[in-house]
Amino acid sequence: MWWRRWSTACASIRRPTPVPDQRRPEKPLWEQWADQSAALPQGERLQKVLAGRGWGSRRVCEELIDAGRVTVNGEVARLGRRVDPDVDVVEVDGAPVGVKPGLVHYLLNKPAGVVTTAKDTHGRPTVVDLVPAEPRVFPVGRLDAETEGLLLLTNDGELANRVAHPRHGVEKEYLAVVRGHLNGGALRRLREGVDLDDGRTAPAKVSQPEPGMLRITIHEGRNRQVRRMCEAVGHPVERLIRVRIGPLRDGALAPGEWREL
Binding span for ligand URA by CB under 6 A among 5-13, 64-72, 195-203, 223-231: 223-231
Which x/- pattern, by CB under 6 A, does the window 172-211 give for ligand URA? ----------------------------------------
DSSP class of 167: G
Q: How far is the CB of 158 from ligand URA (least distance, A)?
A: 23
Name the catalytic one among 21, 144, 195, 197: 144
Residue of 113, 173, 117, 122 lying closest to 148 (CA atoms) = 113
How many other CB atoms sit within 10 Å of the CB of residue 225? 20
Residue of 74, 163, 90 lying closest to 82 (CA atoms) = 90
Closer Cβ to ligand URA, 75 or 220, answer by number: 220
From 70, 83, 85, 147, residue interacting with ligand URA (rule: CB under 6 A)? 147
Q: Tell me, what amino acid is at 190?
A: L
Tell me, yes or no, if 35 is annotated catalytic. no
Determine, following the binding rule CB under 6 A, whether residue 225 of this chain makes contact with ligand URA. Answer: yes
By CB neighbour count within 10 A (0-12 exposed, 13-18 middle, 19+ buried), where does 223 fall? exposed
Instruction: Give the up-direction half-sphere exposure of residue 38: CA atoms within 13 A in the CB hemisphere.
Output: 14
Cis peptide before 255 (omega within 30 of 0): no
From 61, 77, 131, 143, residue interacting with ligand URA (rule: CB under 6 A)? 143
Closer Cβ to ligand URA, 73 or 223, answer by number: 223
Determine, following the binding rule CB under 6 A, whether residue 48 of this chain makes contact with ligand URA. Answer: no
Determine, following the binding rule CB under 6 A, whether residue 235 of this chain makes contact with ligand URA. Answer: no
DSSP class of 248: B
| Total residues interacting with ligand URA, rule: CB under 6 A | 8
On whether the CB atoms of residues 108 and 245 are closer than 8 A, the answer is: no
Q: Which residues bind ligand URA (CB under 6 A)?
A: 143-144, 147, 224-227, 240
